Structure 1
Amino acid sequence: MFRRFEWMLAGRYLRARRQEGFISIIAWFSLLGIGLGVATLIIVMAVMNGFRAELMGRILGINGHVIVQSQVGPVMDYEGLALKFETLPEVVSAMPMVEAQVMVTARGQAGGGLVRGLSKADLARLPLVADNIVAGTIDDFEGDDVVMIGNRMAERMGVNVGDTVTILSPNGTATVVGTTPRMKAYRVVGLFSLGMAEYDGTFVFMPIDHARAFFRTGAGVSAIEVMLRNPDLSNDVALKLKGLAPGLRTVTWQVLNATFFGALAVERNVMFLILTLIIVVAAFNIISSLIMLVKDKGRGIAILRTMGATRGAIMRVFLICGASIGVIGTLGGFALGVLFCDNIEAIRQFLQSLTGARLFPDEIYFLSRIPAKMEVGEVATVVAMGFALSFLATLYPSWRAARLDPVEALRHE
């Protein structure tokens, strides 16, 4: 399609002489603009995908995909219901639990916490917790006075394995002088680090039998958490669970986290549109540089036309000029974006040590490290968009060059 003569001429035009240096500078800025736009879009989308995947993995790793609760009061006959739920092929596990908001105090420090009562066997079936115990052991998670807490809560209160924390429940005992909150001292037998500041700073695990006694749920539990093989099937499985447990209600993880994940999706789409404008602006720079190149090469174009060059050949020469800028810039941006994503945490650590500032505080962003997850289809879309915009940007200047009248161009020479 493109002849050797056209490639040679396009190369000469791109290698501007000294008097054409300004045009060359504009072309270089266009190339850098395309490259930075593509790289930025790849990096930002990968980080946002990483955020969503990491947060979803942690939220679904410690919370049930379907929660089965009673309309009023605790869930009774929870052991039989759990065994019945686990007969479904989509269900991995069904874990009865007791959950309550409390205040945790130790060494003069106090803070809110969320107690979850689970059996030792069920806690071991949560890989996110069992595989991230940083101190102590899950084998000690038994007895009526033991708890496991997050490492951030332990740091805040200055406690470690073997120390004691006091748990206060606001649902206390009614007396003649008012309601007295229940409180009890517990020995810390383990610390866990889930990599999510909100969980590591608030979660407290307690053996389920003592949690039932402490929070006075009687023979029942607060809910049954059901883990699925495929979380996307939670709505269908919730209907089956409701059929197995009439009178109980089911809540899926999509309903519980709808606002959070909806906000992430909106932010992701808006960022994609905004950052696409960087590539569009760079494409306009290609248009302006090519129009200036056509105007500057008017005499040469006219001579080529009088020597027999066709309009199609002239158009292809300038198509090669503009497309070369776009293709090189897009491929450079692709390489830069992939390289940056693969080393994003090392880059953060380097910049943090260089500036002395915390660039990614986990108290704000929930995670302790910057995640980046590149999706092949998404990266391919960004690269294809860079190629397409670069090609479209060359059409009008190339058409103008092909329509140039040799007589008019040479009249004043």
Structure 2
Amino acid sequence: MCRLVAPAHPSQAPTRNPIRDRGKATEETRTRLKLPYEWQIGWCYTRASKRATGNGFISFIALVSMSGIALGVAALIVVLSVMNGFQKEVRDRMLSVLAHVEIFSPTGSMPNWQLTAQEARKNPEVIGAVPYVETQALLTRQGAVSGVALRGVEPSLEPQVSDICKEMRAGALTNLKPGEFGIVLGADLATNLGVMNGDKVTLVVPEGTITPAGMMPRLKQFTVAGIFESGHYEYDSTLALISIQDAQGLFRLPAPTGVRLRLKDVQRAPEVTRALAHTLSGDLYLHDWTQQNKTWFSAVQIEKRMMFIILTLIIAVAAFNLVSSLVMTVTDKQADIAILRTLGAQPGSIMKIFVVQGVTIGFIGTAIGVTLGCLIASSIPWLVPLIEQLFHVQFLPPSVYFISELPSELVAGDVIKIGVIAFLLSSLATLYPSWRGAKVRPAEALRYE
């Protein structure tokens, strides 16, 4: 039971106002009577100090349990927020050069692409539809050879489906004029070939020409009309853009390969793709950006799931500390339990007392952890650069990572899930100690009192 310590002598007590004290006492009594006595005693045990409990070690273990839950929750929120930030950053950089949905014909060309684009625009989620040609080729210059994903685009329409115009480091996409055979390269691809804006490169087309000497590949010299840098190494090192008219003539295509679409909400790409598959006329294939990068996104989801499980074990360890804290409290309070039992308290009421104590510790620890984790996760964009500046370190060197800043995205669903799991684990940790407290026999507990 929580005990009140009275003054040693009446002369040491402070001067009191009987009328005021009577009013306060009446108000406090009414407040306490609103809650069952199990709640009052459990809350009293939770906030009891060493002087009230007579055992400071129990209070210390309870504080450690609360701190462990708070740190585990905060760490889990921060880690998942950083992983969400990385995923969003990579996805945004990826979609700056990729279309959200691509429609193409199994024959390799789409003569009625205007009709397909018109039908696709009827979907309210589609905000852009442009033709394209895409194939594989080789680029060479002075002995350097690099395989490229060659894409024929219409420069005036390309801003409808990608942000590549905003990522030009040199030149401009509008320099791709039909018949001039200009080419726009990714920054890493240009570095690998050792070219700059205005230099010449040779394009090798796999589909060759039959001659008396055999099959000979077709070669065409292009002028570098621009260099873009999306920040995504895969596309900066492999993607090359030319005029769609030049691509059709070079690869002898009667029409574009297909149509690229941009959506209002990139997350709804799979849903929109399924809807378009039922509304578009003709024998067409469709795939969205999640299918193009399915392996990468699956790996990220697995990594995030495993990290969640690993860090949840920290909260589980803190919950085990809560078990030991409550067991020690039950052992220390056996006399109080025996007195309550002799006064008529049922075993279920004794269980409620310790359940209330454990749940209170778990709730406070979870609340502190959620608050701390949200504050740190939202402060990462300016906190990490400050730490790097103060201690002269760099967490993400540009030479190793293509993202030099630590991103963070706080997702409300993750925070709620983490808070609920932490609270449930701390609640489950109270079952055994409270059951043990309910099994205390009054006669044995009071034998040596």
- TM-score (normalised: structure 1): 0.82
Is the 2:396–2:405 Cα contact (8 Å) retained in structure 1? no
**Partner Cα separation in structure 2 for residue 66 and residue 39 of structure 1:** 38
Secondary structure at 1:120 match in 2: coil
Which residue identity lines up with residue 212 of structure 1 in the other structure? Q
Task: Say if 2:412 is the partner of 1:376.
Answer: yes
1:236 aligns with 2:275: yes
The letter for the 2-side match of 1:389 is L
Q: Does 1:97 align with 2:132?
A: yes
Identify the residue that residue 71 of structure 2 maps to in structure 1. 36
Per the alignment, residue 287 of structure 1 pairs with 323
Say if 1:293 and 1:8 are closer, same or farther in 2 by CA, change over 3 A.
closer
| Residue correspondences, number | 407
Partner of 1:12: 48
Q: Which shifted more, 254-263 or 97-106?
A: 254-263
2:164 is aligned, of 124, 129, 138, to 129
Q: Deviations over 1:365-411 (max 9, x none)?
A: x7565443332233112112222222222233133224422321232
Match of 1:203 in 2: 239
- Measured against aligned partners, the alpha-carbon deviations of 1:263-321 in whole angstroms (never above 9, x if no partner) come to 44444444434433332232122112211222133345445666887767654543343
Percent identical across equivalent pairs? Answer: 37
State the match for 2:103 in structure 1: 68
Aligned to 2:17: none
- Gap change, CA 1:95 and 1:374, over 3 Å in 2: same
1:64 CA drift (Å)? 3.5
| Bigger Rg, structure 1 or 2 | 2
Q: From the superposition, tell whether residues 159 and 296 of structure 1 become closer, same or farther in structure 2 (CA, over 3 Å).
A: farther
Residue 422 (structure 2) aligns with? 386
Cα drift, residue 326 of structure 1: 1.6
Kindly indicate whether residue 150 of structure 2 is the aligned counterpart of residue 115 of structure 1.
Answer: yes
TM-score under structure 2 normalisation? 0.76
For residues 15 and 220 of structure 1, the distance between their equivalents in structure 2, rounded to whole angstroms, comes to 87
Give 1:169's match in structure 2, choosing from 205, 211, 217: 205
Instruction: Provide Cα deviations, 1:184-216, integer angstroms capped at 9, x if missing partner.
Output: 343333332323221122211111111222233
Instruction: Tell me: CA distance 1:341–1:169, structure 2 relative to 1, closer, same or farther (3 Å).
Output: farther
Structure 2 unaligned regions, length at least 5: 1-34
Q: How far does residue 42 in structure 1 lie from its aligned partner after superposition?
A: 2.1
2:377 aligned residue: 341
8 A contact 2:98–2:162 mirrored in 1: no
Q: Name which of structure 1's ranges 85-94 and 12-21 shifts more when overlaid on structure 2.
A: 12-21
Within a 5 Å distance, the mapping from 1:345-356 to structure 2 comes to 345-346=381-382
1:332 is aligned to 368
Aligned equivalents of 1:380, 1:236: Cα separation in 2:
32
Alpha carbons of 1:117 and 1:389: their partners in 2 closer, same or farther (altered >3 Å)?
same
1:193 maps to what in 2? 229
Residue from 215, 225, 230 that aligns with 2:260: 225
Quote the Cα distance in structure 2 between the aligned partners of 1:178 and 1:347.
64
8 Å contact kept, 1:235–1:252: no
Q: Distance in 2 between matches of 1:321 and 1:17?
A: 14
Following superposition of structure 1 onto structure 2, how do residues 138-177 of structure 1 map, counting pairs within 5 Å? 138-143=173-178, 144-177=180-213
Partner of 1:408: 444
Q: Letter of the aligned partner of 2:426 in structure 1?
A: S
